[in-house]
Structure 1
């Protein structure tokens, strides 16, 4: 069995989550998010269920030793606020990025109080705010649009309305990443809206829906770039991508690395895939069926903090 590292630059030990009080699948994003599904429950029941799912998920992460900064969203105008990874990201060296969002009603998700907490609790050197580029029709929805390899300094991105190649290049120049861009489609040939439903990069593994990359040559190039990080590559099929198996995140727990993913995603994995993952991280399934109606899963719910904490008395 390979040595499982106890910590890694890839796996943040602290995260931000948003607990919604008025959650509902977002009608405005349904046009290009084909992972969204209708809920059979009424609006009040859906909102309560999502609130409770986030509460239990945050508790489970904290029980595993992950520090969770849990913010409340009581507004009615931000149906996707449970997915904060789209509007900001953090990077080693004290760097924070704030992003332009494709859907108008997602732009109100950006919160000054979250950024103030980061500056107070962590060593933040600068905040680069790209959100003004919404006026130019340029969008880059954070670590939904990009799946970042913090070890190899690569930003993987599937082309979509939510991922401007111009802005991706600008981000990679500012933050010192190599961009790797590709086209990704679901089983019906529809473009996939966010890269983080196609792939997940951990310290010693990468899960990716290689079948989603229709161009054979590009598929091989992407797989080869991932292998250069000496990772085990776990190929996910279209059915597993549809079950959110790619929408997972490796985190730093009390006793080593954990892989947070949804119960639904875990059920879709076969025995060999599970065994491969378990060589690298402890699997931490979270039960979030209501939240998944909005077309995102565990990775979307978690904004990882790749920042150095300040001393508590500072």
Structure 2
């Protein structure tokens, strides 16, 4: 954790006038799993990862098929997908398929990059290439900011992996862990003008915290899904009370969390229709009553990403980097 550290000044920082944010993005960045494999560095604290008996060639075939089907499925529903095909380097990035951990965007045109806990995941941060891809897709980046310097102090904040945002109410929910430092979290919230940060402890059966908040909870425009039983009781009541003020709260069990029922994301199509992306594993693990509740908030879009989520320890939401950047205006 940080000890009496002051954030460095941001060069060329410009004043941003912030409007009321929309909850859902209608554009996402997805990254091909062309280097995908079991990552022993992340497995240290990611209890969702599993070794596979498949050969690496078989794994590659499976994950490329899963990825392609998900890209095609989202586009067919009217969600814009920026297929970010990065340049290979000497240092492989086995978890690049999970881009939501290293960047985030705002409706004011800001792009933020974040300090990653695992050394080999830091090589995923390719801001210049990402900006080029976003610009080519008609999305403008007006300002770049970074908190990556905190990695030098062993303080990490893995973007929307550890931060689940209620954009409408300018509130961030975050489970504290090695990958989510409280002081960096509060610094980021201050920079983007979010006035409430609700951070809390979690504990799995092993006694270890949940490695990423977005595997245990999701927040949509008017609903939330949360595995609240992993939160200590005195904090649990506060979190649920906060969510309940403006959301329908759908509570899931640890068993359902292990099937990635918390790792879902509400999106909008270009026509403004609501959809909820999730894995087939999550869809199958929700009860009929829970599916009925979720269906009132958008069309359910289950994708089979079994290989990616079992080996990588992350699922559909982790594969989606939301793009809130303004759309470039066409010249007349």
TM-score (norm 2): 0.88
Q: Is the 8 A contact 1:243 1:265 kept in 2?
A: yes
Identify which of 108, 125, 150 aligns with 1:133: 150
TM-score (norm 1): 0.93
Give distance in 2, aligned partners of 1:104 and 1:201: 29
Paired position in structure 2 for 1:305: 323
Aligned residues: 305
Give distance in 1, aligned partners of 2:320 and 2:257: 18
Paired position in structure 2 for 1:50: 63
Give distance in 2, aligned partners of 1:180 and 1:47: 39
User: What are the Cα deviations for residues 175-215 of structure 1, in whole angstroms up to 9, with x where unaligned?
Assistant: 112111001122333211000001000111100001010x2
Identify which of 286, 305, 314 aligns with 1:288: 305
Give distance in 2, aligned partners of 1:85 and 1:133: 18
Paired position in structure 2 for 1:95: 110
How far did residue 159 of structure 1 move?
0.7
Identify which of 226, 249, 252 aligns with 1:236: 252
Q: Is the 8 A contact 1:21 1:73 kept in 2?
A: no
User: What are the Cα deviations for residues 27-79 of structure 1, in whole angstroms up to 9, with x where unaligned?
Assistant: 11100000101112011111221111111100000001000000225746100
Give distance in 2, aligned partners of 1:313 and 1:244: 43
SS in 2 for 1:250: strand
Give distance in 2, aligned partners of 1:226 and 1:241: 18
Paired position in structure 2 for 1:258: 275
Paired position in structure 1 for 2:77: 64
Identify which of 220, 231, 242 aligns with 1:202: 220
Moved more, 273-282 or 8-17: 8-17
Paired position in structure 1 for 2:43: 30
Unaligned runs of 5+ in 2: 1-20
How far did residue 25 of structure 1 move?
1.7
Question: Cα RMSD between the aligned structures?
Answer: 1.6
Give distance in 2, aligned partners of 1:236 and 1:188: 19
Give distance in 1, aligned partners of 2:261 and 2:144: 32
Identify which of 264, 268, 272 aligns with 1:248: 264
Paired position in structure 1 for 2:172: 155
Q: Structure 1's 269 and 187: CA in aligned 2 closer, same or farther, altered over 3 A?
A: farther
SS in 2 for 1:166: helix
Give distance in 1, aligned partners of 2:131 and 2:118: 21
Q: Structure 1's 74 and 268: CA in aligned 2 closer, same or farther, altered over 3 A?
A: farther
Give distance in 1, aligned partners of 2:203 and 2:296: 30
Q: Structure 1's 42 and 74: CA in aligned 2 closer, same or farther, altered over 3 A?
A: farther
Paired position in structure 2 for 1:220: 237
